[in-house]
Chain A
Amino acid sequence: MSTLHLLVLAPFIMAIFVPFFYKGFRRIHTGWFVLALPLLLFIYLLRFIPIGEPLQVVKETMDWVPSLGIGFNIYLDGLSLLFALLITGIGTLVVLYSIFYIANKKDEPLNNFYVYLLMFMGAMLGVVLSDNLIVIYVFWELTSLASSLLIAYWFHKEKSRYGAQKSMLITVTGGFAMLAGFCLLYIMTGTFSIQGIISFFAESGAIFNEALFLPAMILILLGAFTKSAQFPFHIWLPDAMEAPTPVSAYLHSATMVKAGIYLVARFTPVFGGTPEWFWIITSFGLLTLIWGSISAIRQVDLKAILAFSTISQLGLIMALLGLGSASFIDNVAEVAIIAAIFHLINHATFKGSLFMVVGIVDHETGTRDIRKLGGLMAIMPITFTISIIGIASMAGLPPFNGFLSKEMFFTGVLEATTLNIFNVQTLGFIFPIVAWIASVFTFAYCMIMFFKTFTGKYQPEKLEKKAHEAPIGLLISPIVLASLVVIFGLFPNMLSYTIIEPAMQSVLPYVSDPYINIYHWHGFNAELFMTIGVVLFGTVVFLNLKRWQETTFFLHERDPLNRFYDGGLEGLVAGSQRVTNLQLTGLLRDYFAYMMVFMILLLGWTFFRYDAVAFNFVDVSEISPYLWIITLALIAATISVPFIQHRVTAIIVVGVIGFLIALLFVVFRAPDLALTQLLVETVMVVLFLLCFYHLPELRKESFKARFKMTNLIISVGMGAIVTLIAFSAHAARHGLSFEPISQYFVENSVPLAGGYNMVNVILVDFRGLDTMLEVLVLGVAALGIVALIKLKMKEGQDI
C-alpha cells in the first residue's frame, strides 16, 4: 500500500464520511468538506510533472487476488498523470461550482450527490492509475454506476430515470465486452498487466497471427466506444444531460467519457500498427465527429448542443488516435497523437467552462432553451466573457488553444493521406474532407450558441426568473478554466515537454525525443486555408439556418438512432413476455408434455447415439402361466383407466391395478412388500370414497383427436424408452462381473446382525438411516396434513 494507492482509495474513504458531515453539520454545505480532497490530490500529483528531466514512471504493487492474476498495481506514467491531473483538477473546480449550483435546501440529498461524485472520482483515478486490466475493469464499472446514479440524482423526474437506465445499459454492455476482451488478452499473454502485455507483444513479434487477437481488439474497442460515446453508442450521452450541470461538466465532458480515449491510447502500443486498429478507430472517430457536429445544429437546448458537441469532439480525438497508430509503421503520423493529447486537454478546459456557463444561464434564467434566450450580453457580462472565450476556442479561432489543436488536427488528417500503408491511398482523401465538413458544422453550432444566447432581444416574458449576473462563487470555476484556455492558447509550449511529451511516450513508447513545438503562425499553408474556409462556410450555414430548419432532418430533435434503443427495449420486454407466456402456461398437462418430450428426445438420442440398446435373456426365469394372466390383467386394467367415464369405476379399476401389483409381489416371494401394497391400496380406496362426496362431477371432456394423438405418442414414447433402458441395463450387467453389495447382506445378516429376515435387517440395521428418514417423511406428511386442514389463512395476512 503506497501513497498512490491511498490516492485512489481516498475518495472512497471520504465518501464514507460524507453522510456524517451531512447529518452532523446540516447548516454548512457538504461540498465544503469535500472540496479539500480533490484539491489536495491535485497538488500532490503536480509534483510528478517533470520539469527539465524525463518523467519517472512510478510503479507500486499490492496483491489482491493473485490466484486469478489480479493485483492492485499502480502504474503512473505520462498518460496516467495527464488524466489524473484532469480528474483531480477539474474535480476541484466542479466541486467548488456545485457548492453554489446546488443549494443546501431542506430535502436536497447533498450527501447522495457527494457520495456518488467521490465514488466516481476514486473509480476514475483507479481506471487511469491501475496497471492490471481487471482492476481497471472494476473501476470502469464503478464509473458507469456512479454516472448513472448521478444522472438519476433527481430521480423523481421521468427523464432522469430514463437517462440513467440508458447510460447504465449501454456502458455496462461495453464493459462486459471489454471484460471478455481482457480475458482473451490474458489467454494469449498469460498476464493481466498492461505493461506485461505490451512487452509480451513487443518481444514475441508474431502476434497478428493469433486467432484471438482481432476478437480481443474488437471487444476492447466496444468497451471504449460505448464509454466514449462513439457512434452508434453515443445516444446515451444527450440523455445523460438530465444530471445536474456540474456532473455534466465533470463526467460527461471532461473526464468519464474520455475513459474510452484513455483505453484506446493505452492499448495503442499493443494493437497499434495493425490495419484493423487503424481503420476501425479512424472511421468510427470520423463518423462520430461528423454525426455529432451535424446533430448539434438542430438542438434547441444549450446542454444538448454541448452534448452533441462533446460527442463530436470525442470522435475527433478518437480519429486522431486511430490515425496516429500508423506511426508504428510510418512516423509521419506522430503529429496526430500529439494533436490528440493536446486537444484532450483543450477540450477539457473549454468544454468544462462552457458547461458551467450553461449551468449559470440555466440557474439565473430558469431555462436552457435557445428559443427563449437572447440578449444576455448586457445582463450577464462576466458570463458572456467566459462564454466567448470558450466558444471561440471550440470553434477553432485564434488565439485560443482550440485553434492550435484544430490546426494540428488538420495537419494530422492531411499527413495521413500521404501514408502508404493499409490501403490509405484509396480512401485516405476522405479524411480531410470529413474533418473539414465537421469543422464547418462545429463553427456553425458555436455561432448558434453564442448569438442565440447573448445577442438578439432579451425576452423576459419567456423566462421563469428575472435574469441577472451569477454570484461570484458560480463564476470562479469557469473563470479559471477560461483563463487556462487563454494561457494554453498563448503559451502552448508550457505543456509540450511537461505533459504532452510524457503522455505521448506512453502511447508511442518507441518514439524517442519527439520534437513538439506548437505555435500559431505556420505561414499560408493548407491548414490555414481550411480554417478560413471553415469560418466562411460556417457563417453561411448559420445565416441560412432558417432554411435548413424546415427540412425534415431538423424536425427530429432526437437522434434517430434512439429508435433502435427504445424499440429494442420495448421489443425485448414484449418478446420475453411472449416467450415466457408460451412456456409457462400454468397448465400441468402442458408442462408434462414439454418435459416428457424433452426427456424422450434426450434419452432417446443418447441411447441410440451410443448404441446402448441391448437385450439379454440368458438367465431370466421361466414365466409361469398365472404370471402371464396377472400381467395381462394388469395391462388391460391400466389401459382401460383413461376410457372410464365414471368416477367410482375409475377408483375401482385403479384399486384393481394396485391389488394386482400386490399379487405380483406375492408371486415374487416378497410377502412384506405385498402386505404393504395391500394396506396402501386399501387406505387409498377408503380415502377416495371418503372424499367422494366432496368431489365435483366428473365432466365428460372432449378433446380434439390431434391433442389425444400427441398425448398418446408422448406417453407411449416415455414408456418405451424407460422399458428399453431397463432391458439394456439388465443386459449390461451380464457383460460385467460385479458382485452386488446385496451379497454382503446375505452373508452377514445372521452372523453380524443376528436377524434371519434379511429385508428386515436391511431396513433396521444395514440401512437404518434410510428407514428412520422415511419415518420422518411420513411424520412430516401427517403433521403437514394437520397444518393444511386447520390453518386457513387469507391472502395478505402476513408477508
Chain B
Amino acid sequence: MNNIVLLPVLIPFLVGVILILFRNQLPIQRFVSGVTTLGLVGISAYITYLIYQDGIITLELGNWPAPFGIVLVGDLFASIMVVFASIVAAACLFFAFQTLHPDREKYYFYPFFFFLLTGVNGSFLTGDIFNLFVFFEVMLISSFVLIVMGGTKYQLRESFKYVVISTFGSMFFVIAVALLYSVTGTLNYAHLAERVAEAAQQGQSGILTVIAILFLIVFGLKGALVPLHFWLPNAYFGPPTAIAALLGGLLTKVGVYSIMRTHTLIFTHNQDFTLTIILILAGLTMFFGVIGAVSKFDFKRILAIHIVSQVGYMIMGLGIGTTMAIAGSIYIITHNMIVKTALFLFCGATEKVTGTTNLKKMSGLLKTHPYLGWLFFVAAISLAGIPPLSGFFSKFALVLGGLEAERYFIVFVSLVVGLLTLFSMVKIFMYVFWGSPSLSPEEVKKTKVGKLLIPGIPLVIISILMGILAEPVYLLFEAAANQMLDPSIYINSVIKE
C-alpha cells in the first residue's frame, strides 16, 4: 500500500477543477499547467523507480479490501505508460501555449487537458475492470470536447462520427463487463484472473473465450485496430495540432494498454486462439494503416492515419507472446508515443510557416528552416525503424522475438510495413523540405518558428537516447514484460490471503 500511486490521477483531477476558476487569467492557467505536467513527469518517474526497486504498488481505495473495493495497481508496465503519457502531455502543453488561440484557452482547454490526463492515467493504473470503464468515460468525454472545440464545420461533422462510434464501443464495454461479471462474479483484475483460470479448468473456457474476444473488440475500437479504426483518421485532422498530437499520442495507447493488460493477466486460458486472432488483427492493422499513409498527400493526414499502422506493431508483440516480443511491444508503444507526438508538433510548426498541411503546396523548407527539417528527419527515420534510434530497437525486439517464435508471416508483414512507413516519411521530407524554397527571404524572417520547436526537441532527444542507451531501456521493459507474463506476481500483490 502506498498512496503515491494515486497521485498521477489525483493531481490532474484537482488541478483541472481548480483551473476552471481561473478562466480569464491565462498566465495563471499556463503557469500552473506547465508546472503540474512537469511535476507529473517527475512523480511518475519516481513511482516507476519505486516499483522497479520494490515491486508492484497497490492502493485499496476507501480502504475496502481487494476484490471488493476499487484498487489501484501500479506495476512496471502501468507506471512506464504513465511516465510516457506525462512526457507527451507536457510536450503538447508547451506547444499549445504558443499555438492555441487565446479564445480556445479561455474556453477551458486546460481543464479539459487535465481531465483527459486523469482518465488516461487512471486507465493505466486501475486494477478494476469497471473502474477502467469509468476512467475510459472520463478520457473519452474530455477527448470529445477537445476534438470538437472551436466548432468549425469540419470538426463538428467528424467529431460526430467519432462520438457515435465511441459511444457504441462504450455500450459494448458495459455489456462485456456485465457478461464477465455474470460468469465470474467479480470485477477486480487479480480476482478475475484467478476465477477465469479456475472457470476455464471447470469446462467454461468457451464462453470465456467469447468474452475475451468481446473485450478485444471493445479495446480494439478505442485502440483503432483495423477494421475498427474508421473513426480515427478524420477525427484527428480537425483539431489544432497541439490537441491532435495529444490525442494521437495518448488515446489509442490506452486501448492497446488495455488489450495487453487483459490478455496477459485475465484471459490467459486459451491463448493459442486469442493470440492468433490478435496477430491477424495486428497484421491487418499495420498494413491498412500504412496503406492509408501511402495514399495521402497531406502532412497531418499522413501522421493521423499512420497512428493506426503503429497500433498493429504494438499488439504484434502481444500476439507473439514471448518476453522479448512483449518487451518489444512496450518499447514500440513508448517509442511511438514520443516520436509520433514529435512529428505532429513539427507538422504544426510547418503549418505555421506555410499556412497549409498540403504537401503539394510546400517546398524547400530545409533551406529556410534547417532545424525544423532535421528534427523532422530524425523523428521520421526513427519512426521507420532506421538505426540507431528508438524505432530500430523496438522493431528489432519484435522481429527477433517473432522469428524465434516462428511467426514468420507477421515478421514479413512488419518489415514490409516498415518500408512503406519509410516511404511515407520520405514522401513528406521530399515534398516539404527538399525542392526549391517557396518562401522569399522576407517571408522567412516573418515565420521564424524556433520557439515552436522547443517542445519537440526533448522528444527527439529521448528517441535518440532510447536508441543509444537501448540496454537500460530494454532491461526495464524486459522486467515489465516478465512481470506481465507471470500473472501470479500481480495477483499476489493485490489479493493478500
Q: Could you list which residues of chain A lie within 8 angstroms of chain B, going by C-beta atoms?
A: 63-68, 70, 107, 134, 137-138, 141-142, 145, 152, 155-156, 161, 164-165, 168-169, 172-173, 176-177, 179-180, 183-184, 186-187, 572-573, 575-577, 579-581, 583-584, 586, 588, 591-592, 594-595, 598-599, 602-603, 606-607, 609-612, 614, 722, 725-726, 728-730, 732-733, 735-736, 738-742, 744-745, 765-770, 773-774, 776-777, 780-781, 783-784, 786-788, 790-799
A180 contacts across to B, CB distance below 8 A: 399, 403, 411-412, 415
A sample of 13 cross-chain residue pairs with beta-carbon separation below 8 angstroms, ordered by A number, consists of A68-B400, A68-B474, A584-B230, A595-B228, A603-B214, A610-B273, A726-B175, A738-B195, A769-B61, A773-B134, A792-B151, A797-B101, A797-B150
Which one of B20, B149, B150, B207 has the greatest number of beta carbons of chain A within 10 Å?
B207
Give the secondary structure class of B's interface. Answer: helix
- Cα separation A85 to B204 with both chains bound (whole Å): 69
CB distance from A182 to the nearest CB of B (A): 9
- Cα separation A509 to B456 with both chains bound (whole Å): 51
- Cα separation A139 to B423 with both chains bound (whole Å): 20
Among candidates B135, B217, B418, residue contacting A773 with C-beta atoms closer than 8 Å? B135
Closest 10 CB pairs of A and B: A740-B185, A612-B206, A784-B145, A610-B206, A155-B434, A138-B387, A576-B295, A591-B230, A787-B107, A798-B101
- Cα separation A595 to B218 with both chains bound (whole Å): 11
Closest B residue to A768 using CB positions: B62
Whether B115 pairs with A780 at a CB distance below 8 angstroms is yes
- Cα separation A493 to B182 with both chains bound (whole Å): 86
Whether A799 pairs with B227 at a CB distance below 8 angstroms is no
Closest B residue to A739 using CB positions: B185
Closest B residue to A176 using CB positions: B415
B426 contacts across to A, CB distance below 8 A: 165, 168-169
Whether B183 pairs with A591 at a CB distance below 8 angstroms is no
Chain B 137-186 residues near chain A, CB threshold 8 A? 137-138, 141-142, 144-145, 148-152, 154, 160-161, 164-165, 168, 175, 179-186
Known: A572-B420, A595-B228. 13 other contacts (CB 8 A): A155-B433, A169-B419, A184-B403, A186-B400, A580-B295, A588-B161, A595-B227, A611-B206, A738-B184, A738-B195, A769-B131, A770-B130, A777-B134
B115 contacts across to A, CB distance below 8 A: 776, 780
Q: At the interface, yes or no: B443 with Cβ under 8 Å from chain A? A: no
Which of under 10, 10 to 19, 20 to 34, or 35 or more describes the interface residues of B?
35 or more
CB distance from A136 to the nearest CB of B (A): 11
A609 contacts across to B, CB distance below 8 A: 273
Whether B474 pairs with A606 at a CB distance below 8 angstroms is no
CB distance from B436 to the nearest CB of A (A): 4
B388 contacts across to A, CB distance below 8 A: 138, 142
Whether A598 pairs with B352 at a CB distance below 8 angstroms is no
- Cα separation A725 to B478 with both chains bound (whole Å): 37
Interface hit among B27-35, B389-397, B457-465: B389-397
Whether A156 pairs with B436 at a CB distance below 8 angstroms is yes
Which one of A161, A180, A572, A768 has the greatest number of beta carbons of chain B within 10 Å?
A180
A774 contacts across to B, CB distance below 8 A: 134, 137
Whether A591 pairs with B165 at a CB distance below 8 angstroms is yes
Chain B 269-300 residues near chain A, CB threshold 8 A? 270, 273, 277, 288, 291-292, 294-296
- Cα separation A294 to B288 with both chains bound (whole Å): 42
Q: Contacts A138-B392, A172-B419, A738-B195 hold; do A799 and B240 have CB atoms under 8 A apart?
A: yes
Which one of A107, A572, A766, A773 has the greatest number of beta carbons of chain B within 10 Å?
A773
Whether B233 pairs with A584 at a CB distance below 8 angstroms is yes
CB distance from B249 to the nearest CB of A (A): 17
- Cα separation A243 to B11 with both chains bound (whole Å): 55
CB distance from A605 to the nearest CB of B (A): 9
- Cα separation A576 to B292 with both chains bound (whole Å): 6
Chain B 326-378 residues near chain A, CB threshold 8 A? 348, 351-352, 355, 364, 366-367
- Cα separation A786 to B108 with both chains bound (whole Å): 9
Q: At the interface, yes or no: B58 with Cβ under 8 Å from chain A? A: no
Q: Could you list which residues of chain B lie within 8 angstroms of chain A, going by C-beta atoms?
A: 13, 20, 61-62, 64, 67-70, 99-101, 103-104, 107-108, 111-112, 115, 118, 122, 130-131, 134-135, 137-138, 141-142, 144-145, 148-152, 154, 160-161, 164-165, 168, 175, 179-188, 191, 195, 198-199, 202-211, 213-214, 217, 221, 227-228, 230-231, 233-234, 240-241, 270, 273, 277, 288, 291-292, 294-296, 305, 324, 348, 351-352, 355, 364, 366-367, 381, 386-388, 392-393, 396-397, 399-400, 403-404, 411-412, 415, 418-420, 422-423, 426, 430, 433-437, 470-471, 474-475, 478
- Cα separation A572 to B399 with both chains bound (whole Å): 24
A177 contacts across to B, CB distance below 8 A: 415
Whether B397 pairs with A68 at a CB distance below 8 angstroms is yes
Q: Contacts A134-B396, A152-B434, A584-B292 hold; do A736 and B204 have CB atoms under 8 A apart?
A: yes
Whether B145 pairs with A780 at a CB distance below 8 angstroms is yes
Closest B residue to A778 using CB positions: B141
CB distance from A567 to the nearest CB of B (A): 15
Q: Contacts A728-B210, A770-B70, A799-B99 hold; do A595 and B230 have CB atoms under 8 A apart?
A: yes
Whether A145 pairs with B381 at a CB distance below 8 angstroms is yes
B100 contacts across to A, CB distance below 8 A: 798
Whether B183 pairs with A729 at a CB distance below 8 angstroms is yes
B61 contacts across to A, CB distance below 8 A: 768-769
Which one of A164, A736, A739 has the greatest number of beta carbons of chain B within 10 Å?
A736
Give the secondary structure class of A's interface. Answer: helix
A793 contacts across to B, CB distance below 8 A: 101, 103-104, 150-152
- Cα separation A595 to B217 with both chains bound (whole Å): 10
B207 contacts across to A, CB distance below 8 A: 610, 612, 614, 725, 728-729, 732
Q: Contacts A614-B207, A784-B141 hold; do A65 and B470 have CB atoms under 8 A apart?
A: yes
Whether B107 pairs with A790 at a CB distance below 8 angstroms is yes
Whether A766 pairs with B69 at a CB distance below 8 angstroms is yes
Whether B135 pairs with A741 at a CB distance below 8 angstroms is no
Whether B210 pairs with A770 at a CB distance below 8 angstroms is no
B187 contacts across to A, CB distance below 8 A: 741
Whether A729 pairs with B211 at a CB distance below 8 angstroms is yes
Q: Contacts A156-B364, A580-B295, A612-B210 hold; do A145 and B399 have CB atoms under 8 A apart?
A: no
Closest B residue to A745 using CB positions: B68
- Cα separation A450 to B396 with both chains bound (whole Å): 49
Whether B231 pairs with A579 at a CB distance below 8 angstroms is no
Among candidates A68, A164, A790, residue contacting B470 with C-beta atoms closer than 8 Å? A68
CB distance from B402 to the nearest CB of A (A): 9
Among candidates A63, A152, A738, A790, residue contacting B185 with C-beta atoms closer than 8 Å? A738
A583 contacts across to B, CB distance below 8 A: 227, 230, 288
CB distance from B45 to the nearest CB of A (A): 21
Q: Contacts A591-B161, A765-B62 hold; do A787 and B228 have CB atoms under 8 A apart?
A: no
Q: Contacts A591-B165, A602-B213 hold; do A736 and B70 have CB atoms under 8 A apart?
A: no
A787 contacts across to B, CB distance below 8 A: 107-108, 112, 145, 149
Whether B228 pairs with A172 at a CB distance below 8 angstroms is no
Whether B151 pairs with A788 at a CB distance below 8 angstroms is yes
Which one of A155, A730, A787, A791 has the greatest number of beta carbons of chain B within 10 Å?
A787
Whether A67 pairs with B185 at a CB distance below 8 angstroms is no
Closest B residue to A579 using CB positions: B291
Whether B148 pairs with A798 at a CB distance below 8 angstroms is no
A134 contacts across to B, CB distance below 8 A: 396
B165 contacts across to A, CB distance below 8 A: 588, 591-592, 595
Closest A residue to B357 using CB positions: A799
Whether B435 pairs with A168 at a CB distance below 8 angstroms is no
- Cα separation A783 to B210 with both chains bound (whole Å): 39
Closest B residue to A179 using CB positions: B399
A187 contacts across to B, CB distance below 8 A: 403-404
- Cα separation A129 to B419 with both chains bound (whole Å): 27
Whether A173 pairs with B419 at a CB distance below 8 angstroms is yes
- Cα separation A141 to B395 with both chains bound (whole Å): 14
Which one of B141, B241, B324 has the greatest number of beta carbons of chain A within 10 Å?
B141
- Cα separation A780 to B16 with both chains bound (whole Å): 10
CB distance from A179 to the nearest CB of B (A): 7
Whether B386 pairs with A67 at a CB distance below 8 angstroms is no
Among candidates B118, B150, B161, B435, residue contacting A161 with C-beta atoms closer than 8 Å? B435
